[in-house]
Amino acid sequence: MAPPLVCVSDYEKEARRLLPLNAFGYYQSGALDEVTLKENKDAMNRWYIRPRLLRDMSQRSTSTTILGHKVSGPIGIAPTAMQRMASTDGECANARAAARFGTVFTMSTLSTSSIEEVAERAPSSLRFFQVYIYKDREVTAKLVQRAEAAGFSALVLTVDTPSLGIRREDERTKFTLPSHLKIANFLTNDMSSRMNTSAGGSGANEYVKSLFDPTLNWGDVDWLKRLTKLPIVLKGILTAEDALLGLEAGAAAIWVSNHGARQVDGVPPTIEALPEIVKAVDGRCEVYVDGGFSSGTHIFTALALGAQMVFLGRPLLWGLTCEGEEGAYNILNILQQELGSTMALSGCATVKDITRDMVIRKEFYSRL
């Protein structure tokens, strides 16, 4: 009998065994030499937790809020493309897992389930919709209108993708979306089919080249804001300067992200970029983070550094691959349990008790 899957790395190892090379490579890969991909994880270990003791831990809660919505914990689901490569129900299963757990599910524009299908099959879920701005602005406008009509609660504008980063693993496998799947949010066969053909390279690259707008600028954020009454979250911010520009543009939240290390290799890991952005924002909007988080201690560290929510992408894909909706739900519960344990053993009864002085850089001790 196989041992139980008890942590994110267990699920990842099993997912590697189960997934076709094409799909696992697409999900797992980073840009170029994958230095930042590795750093996203390694940087977590450069922070130590400073527990406070002899505090009453008899009543504890991990609950918090995101854009005014109460959630069971500061753990959200990040947008990841083409989830039906991992599980038959794909995005629908992930959204249902989020609803059961009591957190937010962020749906990718490049999903293999449609906006309406996810809303119908996970009606009680708190849903954000991740959007790109296309060359044809009407395409983006219609997606926004559909998300509003389907009851999504916020738009997450990805701002770090005027073009796609070079992902060597996708080039090696000549990644294409399996022929039985489609990019479900696009009603024309032409737009969806571009992901199914590689033209000698990566199908994802061909899709982005043909449809994404490389002229994207801050004026387009203003255009999107005028288009909708939904709050707008800017995802892909890595500098204080851009965080401040995002505030000026009216962002409801800044999402610190390096796109899972899939765009520019050599940018900082997000746990290192987070503090300067929190300092620049100075409480004027919410701050979220993703990138390499795979344990409750990682999440605790991000909260101590000022993030209100930590989003995870790949771990949920591993859960979907192994056990479908139940696997995604188990991943969320594992992380919640690990976070709760870390909080209790560090003297934090609530998320608000996790303060900046509770984490410190590793090199501090080498100077003592």
Q: Of the candidates 97, 106, 146, 143, which has an alpha carbon nearest to the alpha carbon of residue 124? A: 97
Angle at the Cα of 338 from the Cα atoms of 272 and 267, rounded to 5 degrees: 20
- b/e sequence 122-157, b meaning 16+ C-beta within 10 Å: beebbbbbbbbbbeeeebbbebbebbbebebbbbbb
Strands 232-237 and 154-158: parallel
**Cα–Cα distances in angstroms (integers) from residue 113 to residues 11, 127, 185, 316, in the given order:** 23, 14, 7, 16
| DSSP-derived pairing of the beta strands 69-71 and 64-66 | antiparallel
Contacts of 230 (CB under 8 A, 6+ apart): 144, 147, 148, 152, 153, 154, 155
* Burial profile 28-49: b = 16 or more Cβ within 10 angstroms, e = fewer: bbbbbebbbbebbbebbeebee
Joined tokens for residue 95 = 């959204």
Please state, in angstroms and rounded to a whole number, the distance separating the CA atoms of residues 86 and 272. Answer: 30
Give catalytic status of residue 259 as yes or no. Answer: yes
Of the listed 69, 180, 259, 298, which one is catalytic? 259
Catalytic residues: 259
